[in-house]
Amino acid sequence: FAPWNDPNAKPYIQFDNVTKKFGDFTAVNNLSLTIFEREFFALLGASGCGKSTLLRMLAGFEEPTAGRILLDGQDLRGIPPYRRPVNMMFQSYALFPHMTVENNIAFGLKQDGMPKPEIASRVAEMLKLVKLEQFAKRKPHQLSGGQRQRVALARSVAKRPKVLLLDEPLGALDKKLREETQFELMDLQQNLGLTFVVVTHDQEEAMTMADRIAIIDKGEVMQVATPAEVYEAPTSRFVAHFVGNVNMFEGKVAEQTANTTRIAGSSGAQIVVDNAAKTAAGADIVFAIRPEKIKISSKKPADAVNALEGEVYDIAYLGDMTVFHVRLDDGQMVRASTMNAARITEDPLSWNDRAWVSFRPDAGVVLTR
Ligand code: ATP
């Protein structure tokens, strides 16, 4: 499933040069974005970046100041929320406290005038879908947070919208339940064959669930890509920092060959990295590399292209992996992590030991912005 790589795939949801202003404040700035049918799409960004505003415009609670939003080729401007094939699930769930679970789920169907027998069978289907059959007669206050979240979900998909919008859907759940529910949401989306657009500030959540992620900053799209691409090939310092941990080797272009660039840091340390794109000599440049791509050892590795010496600053054992901070002799702090499954036990390092960090020229990405 990768319609974004298919030049013939039809766009489903299109933000076309959309701007949204609140008074003088620009919440969304000339933003364009394409989402495909049946995609699980995440809008990821820090608080206030404009991601909820994007969702609210798609739902019809706000209209763009400029630009268009299309769904299946149709311009949505002027179409009221209840006439859009889109439903929104809010963080607060907004369940009716005095109604049972089944009546909460049936509410929208009754309003639409669906015949009673059909409502009953649809509600039963939804209860099964979210595994709440035994809880049909309970009221929301008699449920756990996770169960309430599932009722809200069942209610939002009961009307079979084509698109479900989820604004921080798991925000109220604790970490363990959040993780479980992320997988449940993915399964549900697969089973229903709907298009999901989820807003989150949690990069792990976006990475876990989404087919693709749009990283938003100050009302603009910084990058749209699959979780793996966003992590392995960020196109800017902002994205590299926002998703996962990263080391940045900053410097200036010292020398270029056909495919490599030598970067000179301000303290004199130099590294050589793959860079087929080439960057002008003397330009500011950064090599961004993830902690698990950095090797740490007590002796200088014999064949490493890039090896930098320093001192172990601290070590944290996290169960699945161990994280080292090494303060290089030029002062830069480097984060290196090793998976404990493959940990080399003959080379134990302790706090304050001298250590070498090394990495391959192709283990990270060159960024110029
Ligand atoms: P959060 O994760 O905190 O919800 P967000 O990325 O979803 O943040 P938005 O809710 O889209 O952010 O808001 C984007 C910006 O627009 C914020 O600075 C917010 O203060 C502003 N904003 C949103 N709605 C309005 C409004 N109705 N009037 C004025 N400013 C608004």
Residue-wise pLDDT tens digits, 141-161? 999 888 898 899 899 989 889
Question: In the predicted model, is pLDDT for residue 346 greater than 70?
Answer: no
Q: Is the CB of 61 under 6 A from ligand 1?
A: no
69-83 per-residue burial string, b: 16 or more CB within 10 A, e: under 16? bbbeeeebeebeeee
Mean pLDDT computed over 102-114: 93
Residue minimizing CA distance to atom 1 of ligand 1? 47
Shared domain check, 317 and 351: yes
The bridge status of strand 40-44 relative to strand 195-200 is parallel
Quote the domain boundaries for residue 137.
Answer: 3-241
CA distance 178 to 165: 18
Same domain, 184 and 331: no
Distance CA 105, CA 124 (A): 10
For residue 54, which atom of ligand 1 is closest to its CA?
11
Do 311 and 229 sit in the same domain of this protein?
no
Is the same domain home to 142 and 72?
yes
Could you read off the pLDDT of 247-289 as tens digits, one per residue? 999 999 998 888 899 999 887 789 999 987 778 888 889 999 9
Whether pLDDT at 341 is above 80: no
Rounded-to-integer distance, Cα 102 and Cα 148, Å: 12
- The answer on 338 and 324 residing in a single domain is yes
Residue 172 pLDDT: 73
Q: Is the CB of 47 under 6 A from ligand 1?
A: yes
Q: What are the tokens at 49?
A: 């970046």
Give the closest residue (by CA) to ligand 1 atom 11.
50
Residue owning the nearest CA to atom 19 of ligand 1: 48
My answer on whether 102 and 215 are in the same domain is yes
Provide the pLDDT for residue 294: 96
Give, in order, the Cα–Cα distances in Å from 12 to each of 108, 280, 283. 25, 40, 40
Residue 152 and residue 284 in one domain: no
The mean pLDDT value for 304-313 works out to: 94
State the distance from the centre of ligand 1 to the C-alpha of 177, rounded, in angstroms: 27
Q: Considering 176, 208, 241, which residue would you say is the last residue of a domain?
A: 241
Task: Give the pLDDT confidence score for residue 91 in this predicted structure.
Answer: 67
CATH of the domain at 347: 2.40.50.100
Q: Are residues 207 and 356 in the same domain?
A: no
Task: Specify burial of residue 247 (Cβ count, 10 A radius: 0-12, 13-18, 19+).
Answer: buried
Does 208 lie in the same domain as 261?
Answer: no
Could you tell me the distance, in angstroms and rounded to a whole number, from the CA of residue 54 to the centre of ligand 1?
10
For the residues 324-343, what does the mean pLDDT come to?
Answer: 89
- Asked if residue 53 has its Cβ within 6 Å of ligand 1, the reply is yes
Q: Ligand 1 mean position to 27 CA, how many Å? A: 7
Give 179-190 pLDDT, tens digit per residue. Answer: 888 998 898 899
pLDDT recorded at residue 271: 93
> Is 291 touching ligand 1 by the criterion CB < 6 Å?
no
Kindly indicate the confidence band of residue 345, based on its pLDDT and cuts at 50, 70 and 90: low
Q: Helix, strand or coil for residue 230?
A: helix
Per cent of the chain over pLDDT 90 is 73
Q: Give 52 Cα–ligand 1 centroid separation in angstroms.
A: 7
Q: Does any ligand 1 atom lie closer than 6 A to the CB of residue 200? A: no
Residue 344 is predicted with a pLDDT of 57
* Percentage, residues of the chain above pLDDT 70: 98
Residue finishing a domain among 209, 225, 241: 241
Among 187, 207, 241, residue at a domain's last position:
241
Query: Are residues 123 and 261 part of one domain?
Result: no
Query: Which residue lies with its CA nearest to atom 14 of ligand 1?
Result: 50
**Model confidence, pTM:** 0.90
Distance 310 CA to ligand 1 centre (A): 44
Q: Do 309 and 279 belong together in one domain? A: yes
Tell me, what DSSP letter sits at residue 92? Answer: T
Best substitution site from 19, 21, 25 to test ligand 1's pocket, by max atoms within 8 Å of Cβ? 25
Evaluate: CB of 219 within 6 angstroms of ligand 1.
Answer: no
Compute the distance between CA of residue 49 and CA of residue 44 in angstroms, rounded to an integer.
Answer: 9
To which residue do tokens 């090394």 refer?
A: 358
- Indicate if 43 and 185 belong to the same structural domain: yes
CA of 221 from ligand 1 middle (Å) equals 16
pLDDT in tens, 11-28: 999 999 999 999 999 999
Closest ligand 1 atom to residue 53 Cα is 11
CATH code where residue 96 lies: 3.40.50.300
CA of 143 relative to ligand 1 center, distance in Å = 31
The tally of domains found in the chain comes to 2
